[in-house]
Amino acid sequence: MKSKIIELLTAHVEGLTAEEINTLIEIPPKPELGDFAFPCFRLAKTMRKAPQMIAADIKDALGDVDFLEKIDVQGAYLNFYINKSIYVKTMLDTALCPGYGNSDIGEGQTICIDYSSPNVAKNFHVGHLRTTIIGNSLYKIFSKLGYHVERINHLGDWGTQFGKLIVAYKTWGSKKAVEKDGIAELMKLYVKFHAEAEKDDSLNDDARAWFAKMEQGDEEALSIWQWFKDISLVEYKRTYALLGMEFDHYTGESFYRDKTQAVIDILKEKNLLTESEGANIVDLEAYDMAPCLITKKDGSSIYATRDLAAIYYRKNTYHFSKCLYVTGQEQKLHFAQVFKVIELIGNDWAKDQLVHIPYGLVSLEGAKLSSRNGNIIYAEEILTDAIAKIREIIEQKNPDLPDKDEVAKKVGIGAILFHDLYNQRIKDVSFRWDKVLNFDGETGPYVQYTYVRCASILRSLPDFKPDTDIDYSLITDSASMELLKELVRFPEVILAAAEKYEPSMVARYTIAVAQAFNKFYNDNRINVEDASLRTARVTLVYITGRILRDALELLGIECPEQM
């Protein structure tokens, strides 16, 4: 509507471009003053006329405009009142088009999203599930807005912990046990190492020596490490497959091991590196931060060094306009330091292109969730448990449902994802099965169920075809109006979610749509005699279903057609 007004004014006002008019147009502070206002002060200068007179002249020149109820002159302002029924029709006609909510604002721009990134030889726990789910949703949201997205899994696959693991494996491990139990066995070895190193510090020296060997390219060290990594990846990929998620790059920390020296050289050249007790640091005191450690006493690189190298690599390879990092909030300082170092080197873009996206902790309520394997909570286990629980409910309530396994998978996974995304990401999530799986609360199954209801109404009316020739003025009751209001918000919700990196906005929107729809459905018969009214109502059902399906898709959740 705003662009239509801009178009009108551009045609009738001399001396201002469409862009200038765009910046001048205001939203009036009170609804009584209309939906948009155009101030004439600026024209008064160039036209040497009182702004009130100019406003009146423009109003006369515009005459009657079909999409406006009226135009008023109020002092120096022209106030525009949108014709609501035409507005609704325009919006809903757009909502009917395939790809409603898509945009091209991101065209030609690349966004890197660094997410999931589990630590090799450690279990994929519920915390990593959150970064995976949030990162995947951001990928979908930005893709819908036309951005090209690179999905990067920055695996924790390098560092002194692998020296420890090699020592533990060589001292207490067996090939058979690792082959049989995978990550669980590697974790046991790791725990054993720490217990033993408490008593015998020389183990730590051995571990450092093995990591040094890895950094120097020693064949034996690298082949054991690669084996641990392969074993871990098999398990991680099983979880990704369950979630239906993929990555474009598995470039973990080890990928940057030959790229850190170049960063160290730049830091030296820029005089940013200081020696401190044998280690090399970048002093960040001027910015109220602890120093950023670059190399340890023994010369080995660390997490931060590899992140610095990764930023250079990604900038030069993908030419990102933003690089996002989805991790727990406990890494806030780490990213603040790394981003600051990049900026201090002279990369001004670091300030707005590198973005840390933190999230809160996951806690587990209720004894049922404690894992069969001790107190470690594997993400995979939660997902398969959710699927099994839904499968049971289906068996009880709807045993004749076709594709029961497929439906249980979509609903079970959907329940977990939705629960994780429903609250602002910075909030802690407390996990409770009865909340996650509730079909009536603010949950994934509730939204999916509402979608299924739309789908079933449409199946019962096979003659319906989406068409723009619809008289929405027949729709007047308040429940329908509330639903309309929600349906037209979809595009702005996606934009806002992208701007705030906040998938919860999309999740909350699906609940608002589902609730408005269920009220509408409760108050109105769909299959009425009057053909025009029936078509208008069915169209609302159709648009609702599509929006719910597409919005859930932005969260990484699939909709079954029946459940």
Q: Which residues bind ligand ARG (CB under 6 A)?
A: 114, 117-119, 154, 156, 307, 310, 325, 327
Question: In sequence order, what are the residues at sequence separation of 6 or more whose Cβ sits closer than 8 angstroms to the Cβ of residue 455?
Answer: 545, 561, 562
- Kind and range of the H or E element at 239? helix 219-243
Which lies closer to ligand ARG via its Cβ, residue 115 or residue 449?
Answer: 115
* DSSP conformation letters of 476-539: -SHHHHHHHHHHTTHHHHHHHHHHHT-THHHHHHHHHHHHHHHHHHHH--SS-S-HHHHHHHHH
Residue of minimal Cβ distance to ligand ARG:
156
Which lies closer to ligand ARG via its Cβ, residue 117 or residue 232?
Answer: 117
Chain centroid to CA 129: 13
The tokens describing 41, both together, are: 């002060």
Question: In sequence order, what are the residues at sequence separation of 6 or more whose Cβ sits closer than 8 angstroms to the Cβ of residue 494?
Answer: 101, 103, 141, 144, 145, 506, 554
Task: Give min distance, CB of 126 to ligand ARG, in A.
Answer: 12
How far, in Å, CA of 378 to CA of 534, rounded? 50
Task: Give min distance, CB of 463 to ligand ARG, in A.
Answer: 53
Task: Give min distance, CB of 167 to ligand ARG, in A.
Answer: 22
- Listed in order, strand segments (DSSP E) in 217-285 are 273-276, 279-282
Which lies closer to ligand ARG via its Cβ, residue 119 or residue 515?
Answer: 119
In sequence order, the β-bridge partners of residue 354 are 323
The tokens describing 126, both together, are: 């519920």
Which lies closer to ligand ARG via its Cβ, residue 247 or residue 520?
Answer: 247
Task: Give min distance, CB of 236 to ligand ARG, in A.
Answer: 12
Task: Give min distance, CB of 371 to ligand ARG, in A.
Answer: 19
Which lies closer to ligand ARG via its Cβ, residue 34 or residue 156?
Answer: 156
Which lies closer to ligand ARG via its Cβ, residue 118 or residue 545?
Answer: 118
Phi-psi region of 370 (alpha: psi -120 to 50; beta: other; left: phi over 0): beta
Which lies closer to ligand ARG via its Cβ, residue 68 or residue 112?
Answer: 112
Task: Give min distance, CB of 131 to ligand ARG, in A.
Answer: 7
Which lies closer to ligand ARG via its Cβ, residue 210 or residue 335?
Answer: 335
Task: Give min distance, CB of 158 to ligand ARG, in A.
Answer: 10
DSSP 80: E
Convert 403-429 into a string of H (helix), E (strand) and C (coil): CHHHHHHHHHHHHHHHHHHCCCCCCCE
Task: Give min distance, CB of 357 to ligand ARG, in A.
Answer: 11
Residue whose structure tokens are 């610095």: 308
How far, in Å, CA of 267 to CA of 262, rounded? 9
